[in-house]
Amino acid sequence: MINLVLFGKPGAGKGTQAEFLKSKYQLFHISTGDLFRHHISNKTELGTLAQSYMDKGDLVPDQVTIDMLKDAVENNPEAKGFIFDGFPRTTKQAEALDAFLSEKSIQISATLALEADDDILVERLINRGKTSGRADDQDEDKIRNRFDEYNNKTAPLRSFYVAQGKFHSVDGIGSVDQITQRLTALIDGLL
């Protein structure tokens, strides 16, 4: 079983690459954004709880997100592994994920960080915003604020996973195929 954490700033290509990796390695893709949307739209107990925090403008507590991840893992016992996309975002969340997976006698195999220059990512996001309609992809100040958020909260996870020998930086510049080849070469080397 291979379990991957996919990192990268907004626009780094996590979603695009997750789709290729999911297909190639027959992994179950767990996007926290998708989980939140699923639970909220289906009015599950976890979705209602998450929505109550969001309605107040508060961050959803880590435990609610962990419970959603647990639900996704437990409801997919046939999976050959998982791609965690958008989680963990903090060291505390990484520790909670490790503890949960340990209960299942599984662990994170590798963390893959798609690295790209901020100016290139801004350009990608502005272009994506022209077709996606996402307001947060159309304003350079908002985009750079998201990068700051990533640098302040998510980037410290590098040290956490480096200490475990599981952190891998991948050049996120180039064609989709080139980036996919870099990722698959790295993953194949782990298998």
Q: pLDDT tens, 59-90?
A: 788 889 899 999 999 999 889 999 998 889 88
Task: Locate 78 and state its tokens.
Answer: 């046939």
pLDDT confidence band for 121 (50 / 70 / 90): very high
Q: Is 89 annotated in the active site?
A: yes
Q: What is the pTM of this model?
A: 0.86
Mean pLDDT, rounded, for 156-182: 94
User: Which residue in 128, 142, 144, 158 is the catalytic one?
Assistant: 128
Residue 31 belongs to domain spanning: 2-190
Number of folded domains in the chain?
1
What pLDDT, on a 0 to 100 scale, did the predictor assign at position 182?
A: 96
What pLDDT, on a 0 to 100 scale, did the predictor assign at position 106?
A: 92
SS3 assignment, position 81? strand
User: Which residue in 70, 142, 146, 166 is the catalytic one?
Assistant: 146
CATH number at residue 99: 3.40.50.300
CB atoms within 10 A of CB 7: 27
Q: Is 134 annotated in the active site?
A: yes
What pLDDT, on a 0 to 100 scale, did the predictor assign at position 34?
A: 86
Q: Is 146 annotated in the active site?
A: yes
More confident residue, 149 or 12: 12
User: Which residue in 24, 37, 130, 134 is the catalytic one?
Assistant: 134
What pLDDT, on a 0 to 100 scale, did the predictor assign at position 134?
A: 75
Question: pLDDT tens-digit profile of 26-67?
Answer: 999 998 888 988 999 999 999 999 989 888 877 788 889 899
The Cα–Cα gap between 50 and 39 comes to 9
